[in-house]
Structure 1
Amino acid sequence: MKTLKMIGFTSLFIVLIIIFYNAPKLKLISGFAAKNLASSFFIANRSEDYTNKTDNSSPLIKLANSKINLKEKIATSNVWGFAKEKAVYRDGIGAILVNKDTVLTDDYLKPNRNLTSIPLPYPYGNLPAKDTIFNNVDYQLLNNVINNSFVGDYKNKPKNTRSLIVLYKGQIIAEKYADGFDKNSLLQGWSITKSLLTTCFGILEKDGDFDINQPITAFSDWLKDDRKNITTSQLLRMESGLEWEENYSTICDVTKMLFKDNDLTKRPLSKKQTSPAETVFNYSSGTSNILSALLRKQFNTHQEYLDFPYQEFIDKIGMHSMLMETDIMGNYVASSYSWATTRDWAKFGQLMLNDGIWNGEQIVSKKWVNYITTPNKTSNNEYGGHWWLNKGDYMPNVPKDCFYADGFQGQRIFVIPSKELVVVRFGVTELNRTEFYTMFDHLLKTICKSIQ
């Protein structure tokens, strides 16, 4: 009996040691699960059970026990009863992680929206899309390509595609959704949010209110060291030289920022410049949140900042389903958190395909579209201005003028000007370039007669 007790005590001691040394990682797991569940449930109207079995089902995140409190509009999560985290939903600005010291009130600011329906067919308005048939499109083959993007496995895992839409010459030629999803389903953009935020600087640039090539003077601490020479363009191109670790498998800058910090701009703003600007390409979600802070500095009030993306861009092109989430301090989480329907995400791609013009109005300049699609100096033709590029022929079966917004788990908005195409894919499987250029190889063959 004594031996059994000793074994029991020893086992318990070992478990407690393991928990103690992994407590920070467990809190990140709980934080991700709680935040993800709150947003999925309250923004996208997906059930607690569905979210926990799908979006929160990755090898570590599935360790979390996550639940919804509908009355209080919160999601809570823990791992084996430890590392408890809570996310609170607030209408108009999304879900945020909170701790015991967080004080939230009901009189928070949220964006003013103009949700007036635009009386034009999709994509330029909110009326049904035109029933357009193109003689040069092999629709049977096209449908086979689209269907194959939903079935089968990728690297021994189900593809888990949730939606796929193809716009050709501004018209829908293919659209498909997984069971339980449709054209009204909201889907999270993750890092596509980075490309959304960049558009705001394009608007400022067009109006002559901002010069992205001038050193940033908005952050007083930066003026005391080499950071005083960093330009907005260098941030947009992810080559500012600022220190940042982006590794979601460990405790590092990005995971601390997203699942620990109240102000998601503070940590990246505190980072030092460890390399001269324009010498190193360092993909950084922290940089995108610095840009969010910089955007906020352009306005006299918090309300003006919150309204700007919607009034000058999002609602103007009829992306009325869009919701950009903020942190506790009211900063847009430009690195990661935005939601919209697949059709509305495609509108964003169509705006870029149109060189920034929407229904006759220049939202961003053609010069801006050229800027975001011009490679930076340090990424071997892979990255432009918060958009990914194919100029380095990374997807060999895809035209080199293709550029795309890229988010976690295979969220993509592809724009191919030479083919007049916008292709949007959302899901929960981390597809890589190989899977996408294989899809494009087949897709382009279905519409090859007049566009080669």
Structure 2
Amino acid sequence: MKSILYYCIFISLFVFSCSSDDSSEESRPTNTNLYFPPVNTDTWETILDTDLGYNETAKQSLLNYLEEKNTKGFIMLYNGRIVLEAYFNNHDESKLWYWASAGKTLTSTLSGIAQDEGLITMNKKVSDYLGTGWTNAALEKENLITCKHLLSMNSGLDDTLGDDVSSSNLQYVADAGTRWAYHNVYVKMQDVIAEASNRSWNDYFNSKLKDKIGMNGGWFNIGDLNVYASNTLSMARFGLLIYADGNWDGTQIVSKSYLNEAINTSQNINEAYGYLWWLNGKSSYHLPQSQLEFNGKLVPNAPDDMYAALGKNDQKIYVVPSKKLVVVRLGDAADGDNFALSNFDNDLWAKINAFID
């Protein structure tokens, strides 16, 4: 990963210039059908946390914690409606902030859309779309790498060489499918989609996802990274789409069958990883820049069915179907720099649980 300096440069250029238990669930309102905000406005229906039986005292503790931990934007949706929306540290609803690796899930979703349209097939080799020589691996090893391997982070390419995805820097370490490693090579899926659709990545993304659900923001090249930035509400829109099984107010944006694959274990090495989504409730997990396996759940305090988009320095989208929740957090690192998961996840969920349970 590149230094946080890249992100600071990005922010200076763009941000300021742009505008649980069953009984508790049964006691909550049953007339809150799934809600979608209008596409062309940030007008959004709300629902009172007191109507949901949430703990008002714990809410203030949660807000204080978020502010102390360098949060800029925080949104909690219940079945699509805003329960809690708050901004801190000189941020507001109009300002953009980078998603970092939480934006990987945008590439995952566009991959599903492209497959739904018959443009790509997950099990086809990447060289079918990009041609041979897109890596520095021997041809027989390169041809083992499929689109699914890129989305599952088990391409077998060397993750220690930095974020540069030019062919000379994509070197063989192991056969595809035999080694899990968090690697910027996933971004080659954007090239696959562009080639298969005969459109630019930005054009395909905007027309197939961004414009259809009313997101703002855009993609920016920061060093070797392609980073998405938006306001906090746009991040919540995307989380709501995924919570709604890929359907936006009656229009199927990405198929439910694809999302079901994306939010379940995608390979047999890291149980807690789908197609660029992190998965809670598994018996073990791996972390970026490590080949170690850790026993236990990814975020012990979070519900087992939670899945998440996790980005550098604590950019978060949590989706929790059992609680009807989408939770979004943008900001600076809560504590020290991190690549995806941090202690903040578990501590934050302790605060959220005190509020919602």
Which TM-score applies when normalising by structure 2? 0.80
| Corresponding residue number in structure 2 for 1:372 | 262
Aligned residue among 192, 195, 199 for 1:297? 195
After TM superposition, give the deviation of residue 146 of structure 1 in Å: 2.8
| Residue-pair matches, total | 315
After TM superposition, give the deviation of residue 123 of structure 1 in Å: 6.5
1:446 matched to 2:355: yes
> Aligned partners of 1:214, 1:418: CA distance in 2, in Å?
34
Does the C-alpha gap of structure 1 residues 408 and 297 become closer, same or farther in structure 2, counting only changes over 3 Å?
same
Contact (CA 8 Å) 2:70, 2:89: kept in 1 or not? no
Indicate the SS of the match to 1:221.
Answer: coil
After TM superposition, give the deviation of residue 366 of structure 1 in Å: 0.7
Q: Which has the higher contact order (CA 8 A, sep 6+)?
A: 2
> Aligned partners of 1:301, 1:166: CA distance in 2, in Å?
35
After TM superposition, give the deviation of residue 212 of structure 1 in Å: 0.6
Aligned residue among 47, 58, 64 for 1:132? 47
Task: String of CA shifts for 1:156-175, please: whole Å, max 9, x gaps.
Answer: xxx21111110111111011
Indicate the SS of the match to 1:337.
Answer: strand
After TM superposition, give the deviation of residue 373 of structure 1 in Å: 1.0
After TM superposition, give the deviation of residue 142 of structure 1 in Å: 4.8
Aligned ranges 1:191-340 → 2 under 5 Å: 191-216=101-126, 217=128, 218-221=130-133, 224-245=139-160, 252-254=161-163, 257=164, 265-267=165-167, 270-285=169-184, 287-302=185-200, 305-319=201-215, 321-326=216-221, 335-340=225-230
| Corresponding residue number in structure 2 for 1:87 | none
Indicate the SS of the match to 1:298.
Answer: helix
| Corresponding residue number in structure 2 for 1:75 | none
Indicate the SS of the match to 1:395.
Answer: coil
> Aligned partners of 2:222, 2:55: CA distance in 1, in Å?
44
After TM superposition, give the deviation of residue 179 of structure 1 in Å: 3.5
Task: String of CA shifts for 1:124-180, please: whole Å, max 9, x gaps.
Answer: 65252224235233251352243132344xxxxxx2111111011111101111131
> Aligned partners of 1:340, 1:308: CA distance in 2, in Å?
18
Contact (CA 8 Å) 1:145, 1:443: kept in 2 or not? no
> Aligned partners of 1:127, 1:354: CA distance in 2, in Å?
19
1:44 matched to 2:15: yes
Task: String of CA shifts for 1:326-370, please: whole Å, max 9, x gaps.
Answer: 479xxxx7x551110011101111111000000111111111111
The alignment's C-alpha RMSD in Å is: 2.6
| Corresponding residue number in structure 2 for 1:394 | 298
Indicate the SS of the match to 1:404.
Answer: strand
Sequence identity, in percent?
26
Indicate the SS of the match to 1:253.
Answer: coil
1:170 matched to 2:141: no
Does the C-alpha gap of structure 1 residues 240 and 138 become closer, same or farther in structure 2, counting only changes over 3 Å?
same
Indicate the SS of the match to 2:45.
Answer: coil
Aligned amino acid, residue 344 of structure 1: S
Aligned residue among 402, 406, 409 for 2:310? 406
> Aligned partners of 1:271, 1:121: CA distance in 2, in Å?
41
| Corresponding residue number in structure 2 for 1:183 | 93
Aligned amino acid, residue 195 of structure 2: K
| Corresponding residue number in structure 1 for 2:285 | none
Does the C-alpha gap of structure 1 residues 362 and 38 become closer, same or farther in structure 2, counting only changes over 3 Å?
same
Does the C-alpha gap of structure 1 residues 356 and 385 become closer, same or farther in structure 2, counting only changes over 3 Å?
same
Task: String of CA shifts for 1:388-417, please: whole Å, max 9, x gaps.
Answer: 111322212211211111111110111111
Does the C-alpha gap of structure 1 residues 121 and 373 become closer, same or farther in structure 2, counting only changes over 3 Å?
closer
Which TM-score applies when normalising by structure 1? 0.64
Aligned residue among 221, 226, 234 for 1:344? 234
Contact (CA 8 Å) 2:314, 2:342: kept in 1 or not? no
Query: Which consecutive unaligned segments of at least 5 residues does structure 1 have?
Result: 1-27, 47-90, 92-119, 153-158, 246-251, 258-264
Contact (CA 8 Å) 2:217, 2:228: kept in 1 or not? yes
Indicate the SS of the match to 1:201.
Answer: helix
Indicate the SS of the match to 1:191.
Answer: helix
